[in-house]
Amino acid sequence: MRPTSTRTGGSRPSPSTSPSPSPGDLCGAPKNPYGYNYCGGSRIYAPAEDVCSYFTCVDNFWDGNGYMVLCNDGLISRTGMGSQPCAGHGGTKQDVYV
């Protein structure tokens, strides 16, 4: 009879199986690999360099040095431009979060 080994502590841990956020989890924000959303969380002061590949940004997006905001027309802007971040885009609707 061949000896059998026994394990304590259960089976081998599996890699994290946390699902990626679905568009519904982002409260209407475009699907993106950063988890940027309209639900709530922390303001985004240092957006990823390719953020405008996932969101439609205002032309002068990178001129801002503040946090990301959603304009009433659906475009994304940043505060800290010296004027209202969504001037010419219907005003600011809300912040963008991570």
Share of the chain above pLDDT 90, in %: 70
What does the pLDDT average to over 32-38? 98
Residue-wise pLDDT tens digits, 38-74: 999 999 999 999 999 999 999 999 999 999 999 999 9
Output the pTM of the full model: 0.74
Q: Which amino acid does the sequence have at 8?
A: T
Do residues 44 and 96 lie in contact, with contact meaning Cβ atoms separated by under 8 Å? yes
Q: Would you state the structure tokens that stand for residue 47, as one six-digit string?
A: 């957006």
- The partner residues of 43 in beta bridges, in order of sequence, read 97
Query: Among 60, 56, 58, which Cα is nearest to 82's?
Result: 60
- The pLDDT confidence band at residue 83, using thresholds 50, 70 and 90, is confident
Angle at 66 between CA 31 and CA 45, to 5 degrees: 50
